[in-house]
Amino acid sequence: MGIMQSLIEIQQKLLPDLLVVLKKRYLILRQVMLSDMIGRRTLAASLEMTERVLRAETDFLKTQGLLHIEAAGMRITEAGQRLLDEMEPLYKQMFGLSDLEERIRKRYGLKQVIVVPGDSDSLPHTKRELGLAGCAVLRKYMEKDDVVAITGGTTLAQVANQLTTQTPLKGNWFVPARGGLGESLDYQANTLASTMAKRTGAQYRLLHVPDHLGEEAYTTLMQEPNVREIVEVIRSARIVVHGIGDAMVMARRRRVDGSFIEALKAEGAHAEAFGYYFDRNGAVVHRMPTIGLRLEDIMATEVVIAIAGGSSKAEAIAAIMRFGRDDVLVTDEGAALGIVAQLDEEEKQA
């Protein structure tokens, strides 16, 4: 046991609710940080606290010089930011997130696992946090003149909309991993690639074709020189950042026809990632030709980063991890708990 665990255990004997209060205040401070500027009532709602209780806490944080409160709302101070940064690793140890990380990392042979507090299913702000953590990871692995392929989805959108860099990434390229998927424009891979490039001063290319194609259309399009050109860039990506979805949810969202959905069901499709469907063991179900990144391209990619959270996605995430091509997983507490629950099951049966 770490020195910190014993330290906290000692204190908890004398102050049993120490961790409760510490967590509460930390989460408030963190939420304010994530929100840039936020009002009391909005904050209370997003943290599921009553207004008055939150107010007592923010008043306290103000007197501690960690929050700035002004007419337009509250904002974190420099000291508050410093405190948050210092506290992050401690928080993870205290609340067992680093244990979850390590356990998942080992089981699936990943390079790195990051678990952020919360559950995207129930707490909307958790997705922001997921996005922020995703940004940090992406920055860590990106190198000069890299090509980064990204998929779409709401979680990836959180990454795109929060991505920043200290210096413009002039030589880097952001490209969509796949074509259009019939979802809302805001979450299209094309949109996100362009957003990320604009926010970081990098270049981007777009892929203006639908993702799922018949054989004939595929052949025709691949003969177009400008399509070929961008496809070549995409398939040379060194980094892939992708979300993970539930197979049925994704299939419906893509408005594929009923018979296809039935086929997926019959084949036991559980999860979806970078346009492919996987069963619960991580085996690919239903390959089909695509203009974008193919499985064989992904196998050749150096860094594959998965970003997905929410307890409802635990199974899907586990399935993709079993597929085994990912290097980094960024998820949240809700999903991570679901995943380790599955690990417990596995071990019990063994």
Partner DNA sequence: ACAGGCGGGACAATTCATGTCCCTGGTGTG
Partner DNA sequence: CACACCAGGGACATGAATTGTCCCGCCTGT
Residues that bind DNA (CB under 7 A): 38-42, 50-53, 55-56, 59, 62, 69-74, 166-167
281 binds, among a copy of itself, DNA, none (CB under 5 to 8 A by kind): none
Name the residue nearer to DNA (CB basis): 73 or 282: 73
Q: How far is the CB of 199 from DNA (least distance, A)?
A: 14
Nearer to a copy of itself, 90 or 263 (CB): 90
Using CA atoms, how far apart are residues 178 and 150, in angstroms rounded to an integer? 8
Q: Phi/psi zone of residue 316: left (φ > 0), alpha (ψ -120 to 50 degrees), beta? A: alpha
If residue 83 lies in a helix (H) or strand (E), which one and from where to where?
helix 78-94
Binding partner selected for residue 41 from DNA, a copy of itself, none, CB under the kind-specific 5 to 8 Å limit: DNA
Within 243-323, strands assigned E span: 245-246, 269-273, 276-279, 284-285, 303-307
Distance (Å, whole) CA 28 – CA 67: 10
How far apart are CB 50 and DNA at their closest, in Å?
A: 3
Question: Quick one: what does residue 73 bind among a copy of itself, DNA, none, with the CB cut-off 5 to 8 Å set by partner type?
Answer: DNA
Of a copy of itself, DNA, none, which one does residue 86 interact with (CB within 5 to 8 Å by kind)?
a copy of itself
Nearer to a copy of itself, 13 or 348 (CB): 13
348 binds, among a copy of itself, DNA, none (CB under 5 to 8 A by kind): none
Q: Give the whole-angstrom CA distance, residue 185 versus residue 111.
A: 32
Shortest Å, Cβ 30 to a copy of itself: 12
Q: Which residues contact 181 (CB under 8 A, 6 or more apart)?
A: 152, 188, 189, 211, 254, 275
When CB distances are held under 5 to 8 angstroms depending on the partner's kind, the choice from DNA, a copy of itself, none that residue 50 binds is DNA
CB nearer to DNA: give 128 or 270: 128
Q: Which residues bind a copy of itself (CB under 8 A)?
A: 3-4, 6-7, 9-11, 13-16, 18, 21-22, 25-26, 29, 64-66, 83, 86-87, 90, 132
Q: Which is nearer to DNA, 57 or 297 (CB)?
A: 57
Q: Residue 220 binds which one of DNA, a copy of itself, none, with CB within 5 to 8 A depending on kind?
A: none
Min CB(236)–a copy of itself separation in Å: 31
- DSSP assignment of 35-81 equals HSSB-HHHHHHHHT--HHHHHHHHHHHHHTTSEEEETTEEEE-HHHH
Evaluate the CA torsion angle 191, 195, 198, 203 in order and state its sign: negative
d(CA 170, CA 164): 13
Alpha-helical (H) ranges within 205-286 are 215-222, 225-235, 247-253, 258-266
Residue type, 343: L
**Taking the complex as a whole, how short is the minimal distance between the CB of residue 171 and a copy of itself, in angstroms?**
24
Among residues 70 and 296, whose Cβ is nearest to DNA? 70
Residue whose C-alpha is closest to residue 171's, from 148, 140, 149, 138: 148
In order of 234, 237, 271, 313, the CA distances from 301 in angstroms are 11, 7, 21, 25
Select 40 or 286, whichever has its Cβ closest to DNA.
40
Shortest reach from residue 189's CB to a copy of itself, in Å: 25
Q: Hey, how many other C-beta atoms are within 10 angstroms of the C-beta on 213?
A: 18
Cβ–Cβ contacts within 10 Å for residue 58, how many?
Answer: 21
Please state the closest distance from residue 83 (CB atom) to a copy of itself, in A: 6
Residue placing its CB nearer to DNA in the complex, 52 or 170:
52
User: Considering CB distances under 5 to 8 angstroms, the limit depending on partner class, which of DNA, a copy of itself, none binds residue 74?
Assistant: DNA
